[in-house]
Each structure stands twice: as structure tokens, then as C-alpha cells.
Chain A
Amino acid sequence: MSKKTKENISLLIFITPALIVFLIFKLFPTFSGIFYALTDWNGFNKSFNFVGLENFLEIFSDTNFWKSIIFTIKFVLVMAIFGNLIPLFLAVAIESRPKGKGLFRTIFYMPNMISMIIGGYMWGFIFTKVLYYLADNFGMKFLDHSWIGDPNYAFFAIVIVALWGASGYVMLIYIAALKGVPVHLIEAASLDGATKIQSFFYVTLPMIRHAITICLFWILSTSFQVFDVIYSLTGGGPGRATESVAINIYEEAFRGNIRYGYATAKSTVLFLIVLMITIIQLKLTDRKDNGI
């Protein structure tokens, strides 16, 4: 036996436990999903037909699915902007304070410890009870809306809860990045007469651009898969107005008339979108790293 073969056998012995669970519960579902997407299987019958790309063609005329894609893109865009600006503001505001850094970090990161299902229900209480109470008893009439029942306000409510849930994590990454910016660069800029705002935009921001890319794409790929917040806050309603892609797939596969073949075709589309985002990210970070 050659040395390489021996090494490979020893390798396989050690990685077998990990490899078995990985193959069965991750890789096999990935490929069988692509296979089911080409069939008309309903999940119960033993027999099914191979229908080629018919499911994918049907997606084009599925208005509910398109609505859920448009809703998700809207959500992703808003999250990409505010899910970066708010945490960046928090990180800068906290890091440049002389006292209380730890306390503020603790508070803003707190929601990340909590399941968004639980967080969503807590906010549900605020949107359906507390805000009405404020509107009635304190004359805050601008709060008097059907926050969960009106599609426009429901979108707003979902964004607030999602930002509340995600900001702490992004903030921590920005704080770590800000700590890596050399103090002497900021000092040099201020000696040259740069204002604080100028040195933030021309010194700090370029220095933390790697963190910005990480955060931006983390937000993009997690927001595309958004499920928990919407499930607990609006359940996709009113009607199907706040249905995200993941909610739409879940509804298709596990509620009502079950069409596994068709639902897996939709899942494949979701996967392709997330894959595309990641490939763009890898390309971008590669180029930037070479540019330094």
C-alpha cells in the first residue's frame, strides 16, 4: 500500500462519524431536493412522474410566489441599509464614549440571545396592545394604526423587530473592526486638521471595509431566508401580504395541499439566490484583499 493510500484510509477512519451525518442529513437532501424538483411528487404516492422543468416554468406564473419574492427583496434592501447603519452608529457611539461601554454592549446584544419567535411575540404585545394604550391615554394619535393588520404598517413592524434582533450581532463585528483601526492614523488625521467627521469617512471607514462586506452579506443572506420574525408577528398576513419566500415554501410543503415536487423547485430557486449573493461576496472580498 502506498503512503498516500494509507493516509487516506486513516483519514476516512477519523472523519467517518462527521461524514456520515453530513452526507445523510445535509448533502443527500440537497441533491434529492434537486431531483424532486423535477417531479410531480405529492409526498404520499409511491409513484411519481418525471416532469422536467415544468415546476420551474410554473413558478413563473405563480403570482403568490412572485409576491413573496418581491416582498423579500424589499425587506432585504431595507435591512441591508438600516441593518448596517444602525449597528455602525451604535458601534461608533459606544466605542468613543469614556464610560458605560460594557453596559450598552450588553443591552444592544441582548436580543440575539432570544429566539426571534419569542422576540416576535413580545413585540406583538407592543404592537397590538401597548401602542393602542399609548394612543388612547397619552394622545399619541400617530401610533393609532393597525400595525399587524395593515400590510404597509405590518412591513414596518417586521422591519423594526428584525432590526432589533439583528443589530447587536452586526454591532459586535463593527466594534471588533473599530478596535483594529490604529489610533495613530486618527491622530495623524486630526493633526492635519481633519474634523472628526472627515476622519471617520476618510480614515475609519476605509479601514473597516472588510467588516462592512462581512456584515452586509451576512444581512443579505440571512434576510433572504427570513422566517421566524414573520411567522410569530404576522404569520404572513394580512392575507398573504407579508409572506417571505421561506414562509411561502413552508406553506406550500407543510400546509394545505402538499406538493413536494413543486415546493422543492421553489426551494431550489431560493438556494440559487443565496448562492449568487455568496459568490458575489467571495469575489468582492478576494479583489479587495488583493488590492491592499
Chain B
Amino acid sequence: MKIKRKWENIVFYIVLILLAAFWMAPLILALLNSFKSNGELLTNILSIPKTLSLINYKRSIEKMHFFRSMRNTLFLSIFSVGLIVFFSSLAGWKLCRTKTKLSSMIYHLIIFSMLIPFSSIMIPLYRVVLAFHIKNNLFGLSFVYAGLGVGMAIFLYYQFVKEIPIELEEAAEMDGSSQLNTFFKIIFPLLKNVTITVCITNFLWIWNDFLLPLIMISDNKKYTLILSTNTLFGQYSNDWSAILSALIMVVIPAVIIYILFQKQIMHSITDSAIKG
């Protein structure tokens, strides 16, 4: 029995290691080749680069205006996430605590809207964005992200508020605390875990989003990282050493965040998936 289990382990480990190698292959090959010149890349695609030259990186940083795109992406993601957290924590809490017909109607409308796929509203949404003159405006587009993101976030906050005993709020109200005060002093701190979940899932969504910026941002000064990578790919489609170094630079921040916050990220992903 023991020997059988040992063999079983060995077989499974071999399969898992092979699959893991396959999973990492795109990242590793991109990293290795991002240091090579285009000539070296074509003749020695699998080998370790001869020299650790950063010239490709310098080239692609200039071509894709890396730091400007990074700033734009950071602004868009952080500001949108801030709006989503602020708007939906308030709304989720109040919707959960108000037991009227209107409240449950609004809540169900918001839940139902989570089913509407982005690609089926993108055209009329584009018209709305034009009407508000917020095309190419990162500040304005954050509100668009907020509009698209509040549904899921309100749902999550609502589910967690349900588990907080209402006596806490009633006691605070007795002491003459205003509702807003009660919310920020007592309720919001208790919602820390769900806030982390909302922040992580929405940040990753907006950081990696492509279709919305593709439609709503045409001014290259406002490009996000993914948009400028896409443009670089369009302009220099055969200059793989420039493209691969750009891809690596876009991926590295995400990988660092992933390794640092792995536990929280995995926890919040399963949390939102199972609640949703």
C-alpha cells in the first residue's frame, strides 16, 4: 500500500511539473528573449541570452511612453476603485438595512444588471461617453468604470452587512451619532475584508481591461499600458525583441503584486466567485 502511494505521488508530481513548465513557458520564453537582439533571437530562441543587455527595454520604454502609460493606468485603476468602494459600501449597507419595497426593487435591479455583458452595451455607452465629453478623459472614465463596477460591489457589501448585528448601529444612534458617522466609525471598519476583496477584484479588472479603453481612449497621451502595448505591437509587429521587453514590463508589476498579496488575492477571488 505504501509503495503504491509512493508511485502514485511520483507520477502525479511528474505530470504536474510538466504542466507547470507548460504554464510558465510563455513568461519564461518572453523573459529570456527580451534580452536578445533580433538576430540572436532568431538563431537561439531557447538559450539563455549571451549578454544581459537592457537596450531592448530602453527602446520599448521610449516607443510606448512606458512611464506615461503607467501613470495613466495607475490613476484610472486607483481612482475608479476608490469610487467603487465609496459608492457601493454606502449603498450596499443602506440597501441592506432599509426594509422597504423601493429598497428591494432597486437592489434587485442592480443584481439583475450584473448579467448584462459589456460587449452588448458598449455601443450605446460610447454614445453616452461622447455626450458627456469624457472620451479621452481618465477622470471621467473612472466614473464609467464605477457605473459598471458598482453592481457586483454592492452585492458583495450587501451580503456582508447582513452578517453584522444591527444592535451595534441602534446603540450608536441612541448615543446621538449621525447615520453617516455611524457608518464610517462603526460599519465600514467591520467591512474591511469585503473591502479588500472589492479592491483587488476591481483593480485587477480595470488594470487589465482592454476593450473599454480601446473604444474610449483615442488620444495616445492618455493610453493605458495595455493600449500602448497593443499599439507597439501594431507598429513593430516583427520587432519581437522590443515587443517582448514591453510585455515583460507590463507583466512585472502584476506578478510582484501577485507574489506579495497572493493569499488575499486567492481568498478574494474564491470569495467573490462563490458569493456571486
Contacts and interface: CB of A to CB of B under 8 A. Distances in A.
Interface of A: 4, 7-8, 10-11, 14-15, 17-19, 21-30, 32-33, 36, 43, 90, 93-94, 96-98, 100, 104-119, 121-123, 125-126, 129-130, 133, 164, 169, 172-173, 175-176, 214, 218, 221, 224-225, 227-228, 231-232, 245-246, 249-250, 253-254, 260, 263-264, 267-268, 270-271, 274-275, 278
Contact of B94 (A15, A23, A24, A117): A15
Interface in B173-226: 179, 204, 207-211, 215, 226
B119 A126 contact: no
A30 B233 CA distance: 33
Contact of B255 (A32, A110, A123, A214): A110
Interface stretch (B49-57, B58-66, B99-107, B162-170): B99-107
Given A26-B121, A214-B274, A129 B45 contact: yes
B150 interface: yes
A227 B211 contact: yes
Contact of B23 (A7, A108, A115, A116): A108
Give chain A's interface secondary structure class.
helix
A221 B87 CA distance: 27
B146 interface: yes
Nearest to B31: A122
Contacts of A245: 119
A173 B147 CA distance: 27
Chain B binding site: helix, strand, loop or mixed by DSSP?
Answer: helix
Given A7-B100, A263-B123, A25 B144 contact: yes
Interface string B250-262: 1100110111001
Given A22-B151, A274-B117, A228 B95 contact: no
B76 interface: no
A43 B151 CA distance: 28
Interface in B238-255: 240, 243-244, 247, 250-251, 254-255
Contact of B270 (A22, A173, A260): A173
Contacts of A27: 109, 113
